[in-house]
Amino acid sequence: MSENQEYDVIVIGGGPGGSMVSSLLADGGKKVLVLEVAKFPRYHIGESLLLGTVDLLDKIGVREKLEAGDYIKKYGVEWVWGEQREPWKVDFRNAVSVTHDYTYQVERGPFDKMLLDNAREHGVDVREQHRVTNFSIDDNGRSTVNYRRTDTGETGTATARWLVDASGQGGLVTKRLHTQEWDPYLKNMAVWSYWKGVKRSEGEDAGNIFLPTFDDGWWWCIPLRDDITSIGAVVDRESLNALKSTRVRQYYLDSIEKTPELASRTENAELVDDMHVQRDWSYIYDRFCGDGYIAIGDAACFIDPLFSTGVHLAMLSGFLAATVVNTILDKPELDTARMLQFYEGAYRKEFARLRDQVYFLYAGNKGSKESYFWHARSHFGVPSIEPEKAFVSLIAGAFAHRAWYNHYAKHLDVSADLKKSVESMFNGAGIDLDTPLIASACGSVVNDFAVDGRYLREARSLVHTNGASIAYTPAVRAAVEHADGKRTGREIIEIITDRGIDSEDRARSIVHEVISYGFVEPKA
C-alpha cells in the first residue's frame, strides 16, 4: 500500500466533467488528483455536442484540438416531430449568446481521452485504472479517499480539503449521502448501433443530427467520422421490456422500417456493430453538495438524452464548481454555505429548464414546430426574444443569457465577441424610447454572488417574481429608480450617461434589459 498523499482537491471520475473541473482548478494553482477507474480511451455513448459546449471547451484550450482532429461539424438539428411529418430544421446561427456557427459530433472514446490528457497538460495528477473503494469526510470537511489499482491490485489513500464527485451515474458520493429522486415521466430505454453508408443531408447540413419520431418513441441519427453513423431509438421501457433480448435487433430493424424518413437514409447502408441497450431514467438528487464535497454532471442529475445535454451539463457544472471551490479554498472569509447554494441553484435551474422542454416535446407529437418555439421562449428567461431564437438557443445549450451569467459578463475572461453577443440582446431594438416608463412592483433586491474571473464575489441581484434576475449594478438601479411614469427611456439613458454611471451604448442596453425582464414597463 502506498503512503497517504495530500491534495487540495480530489476528483472522482475523469470524464468530461472531471476533466473540466480539474483543469480549471489546476489553472487556479490547486494541487488536484483525478482518480478514474477506466483506461482511456473507453467506449461511451453521448456523441453529439451542444453549441454552448464550444465556449466551455475554449476555457480549457481544447477546441483547436477538435478542429485538428477533423471531427464532423454540426450546424443544426433536423426534426421530424409533431403533428405533421414534414421535416424542419433549426440552424445554430440563429441562437443568441453564442459565438460559433457549429459544434461537433464526436466519438466519445478519443474525445474523452483528449480532455483527460489536456487535464494532465494543465498539471493535474491523473491516475487511470484507479477505483475509489471508500471515502470519508470529517467534521472539518476534509476528505480521505481509499483507492485500488485495477491493473496491479495496489491500494492507496489520499486526502484533500475538497472532494468533487464526477463519477457519473454511479454517483459515488451523492448515492451514499443523499436521496435519488427518479422522474416518473422519463423512464425510457435506449437501443442503438452503428452503420456505414447512411445517406446524409447535403452541404453543411451533412453533419446535423437528425431526430425523427416513430410510434414507440424517437430516433437519433448522428453522423460521425469515417462514414460511420450512430442510430439509436429512445422508447418507453414497456415497449422494449416486452421483448426477449434475442428480439431486440429485430425490433430495432423493424422500427427503422416503420420510420420512412430514417428507412430512406439506411436503404443502402450496412449495420456494422452489435446492439447496445441502456436504461435512460432521468433523476435528480435532493442535494448536490455540502461542506467538503460537490457533485457535478450525472453524479448530481441526469436528464433524458433528447437534447444531448450530458456532456454539456457535465462541463458547465464543472466550470461552476471550479469557480466555487477556488473561492472556498482561497477566500475563507466568504460564506461557504451561500456559495454552495449559488452553485446548486444555478445547476438546478439549468436542469429544470431543459427537462421542462423535454416534457413539452414528448407531449407534443400532435403539436406544431411553432408551439415548440413559443414554449421555449417561456423558459428562456428573456420575455422579448423571438420564439424561434429561444428554441434554437435552448437546444444549442446557449447559457450566456442565464441570469447568473449576466452577473459576470463584464468580468469573465471570455472573448469580446461573446460579450458583444450578450449585450446585443439588449440593444434597444423595438423599444420606443420616447414612451414614459414606470417601474413595476414585481422586483426585489437580494444579496447574491457573481463570478469574477476564477472567483465568486459578493454582489446584489434584482429578482423578479417570475424568477428572472439581473445584476443590480448602479446603472440598473438608476434605470429603475428613474422610471417614474414621467421620464421616457431616452431621458433615463441621458441621466445614466450624464452622471457618468455608464456609457451611452450600455445605458441603452440596460434600459432595454430592464424592460425585457419586466422590471420596467411602458406606461399605459
Residues 90, 92, 93, 96: what is their CA dihedral angle, to the nearest 10 degrees?
Answer: 110
The pLDDT of residue 1: 55
Report residue 188's pLDDT band, with 50, 70 and 90 as the boundaries.
Answer: confident
Question: Is residue 41 located within the same domain as residue 171?
Answer: yes
pLDDT in tens, 287-317: 999 999 999 999 999 998 877 889 999 999 9
Residue 278: strand, helix, or coil: strand
User: From CA 241, how far away is CA 229, in angstroms rounded?
Assistant: 25
| 372 located within any domain | no
Question: Is residue 50 located within the same domain as residue 13?
Answer: yes
Q: Which residue has the cell 432595454?
A: 512
The pLDDT of residue 201: 95
Name the residue among 47, 345, 10 with its Cα closest to residue 158: 10
User: From CA 327, how far away is CA 459, in angstroms rounded?
Assistant: 14
Report residue 508's pLDDT band, with 50, 70 and 90 as the boundaries.
Answer: confident
DSSP state of 386: -
Question: Is residue 164 located within the same domain as residue 245?
Answer: no
Question: Is residue 354 located within the same domain as residue 222?
Answer: no
Q: How many domains does the chain have?
A: 3
Question: Is residue 170 located within the same domain as residue 213?
Answer: no
CATH number at residue 467: 3.30.390
Question: Is residue 187 located within the same domain as residue 174?
Answer: no
DSSP state of 97: S
Indicate whether 73 pLDDT > 90. Answer: yes
The pLDDT of residue 314: 96
Alpha helices (H) along 154-259: 172-177, 237-241, 248-257
Residue 63: strand, helix, or coil: helix
Indicate whether 499 pLDDT > 90. Answer: yes
Residue 475: strand, helix, or coil: helix
Question: Is residue 48 located within the same domain as residue 162?
Answer: yes
Point out the domain boundary residue: 230, 255, 281.
281
381 vs 60, more confident: 60
The pLDDT of residue 215: 86
Point out the domain boundary residue: 296, 326, 359.
359
460 vs 121, more confident: 121
What radius of gyration, in Å, describes the C-alpha atoms of the chain? 24
Question: Is residue 199 located within the same domain as residue 260?
Answer: yes
Name the residue among 224, 216, 219 with its Cα closest to residue 195: 224
| 272 located within any domain | yes
Indicate whether 374 pLDDT > 50. Answer: no
| 203 located within any domain | yes
Task: Tally Cβ neighbours within 10 Å of residue 417.
Answer: 11
User: 57-66 long-range contacts, Cβ below 8 Å, gap at least 24?
Assistant: 57/315, 58/415, 59/20, 59/24, 59/319, 60/19, 60/20, 60/23, 60/24, 60/115, 60/118, 60/119, 60/122, 61/118, 62/114, 62/115, 62/118, 65/114, 65/118, 66/104, 66/106, 66/111, 66/114
| 262 located within any domain | yes
**Start-to-end CA span in the chain (Å):** 76
Count Cβ neighbours within 10 Å for each residue of 187-210 and write b for 16 or more, e otherwise: bbbbbbbbbeebebbeeeeebbbb
Question: Is residue 228 located within the same domain as residue 319?
Answer: no
Q: What's the pTM value of the predicted model, to 2 decimals?
A: 0.83
Query: By residue range, what is the domain housing residue 210?
Result: 181-281
Question: Is residue 428 located within the same domain as residue 503?
Answer: yes
| 296 located within any domain | yes
| 374 located within any domain | no
Point out the domain boundary residue: 249, 281, 313.
281
Report residue 203's pLDDT band, with 50, 70 and 90 as the boundaries.
Answer: very high
CATH number at residue 271: 3.30.9.100
Question: Is residue 484 located within the same domain as residue 515?
Answer: yes
| 383 located within any domain | no
| Cα→Cα distances 120→139, 279, 284, Å | 31, 32, 31
pLDDT in tens, 456-484: 988 888 888 866 777 888 999 999 999 99
Question: Is residue 60 located within the same domain as residue 171?
Answer: yes
CATH number at residue 120: 3.50.50.60
Residue 33 grid coordinates: 488528483
User: From CA 299, how far away is CA 172, in angstroms rounded?
Assistant: 7
| 81 located within any domain | no
DSSP state of 86: -
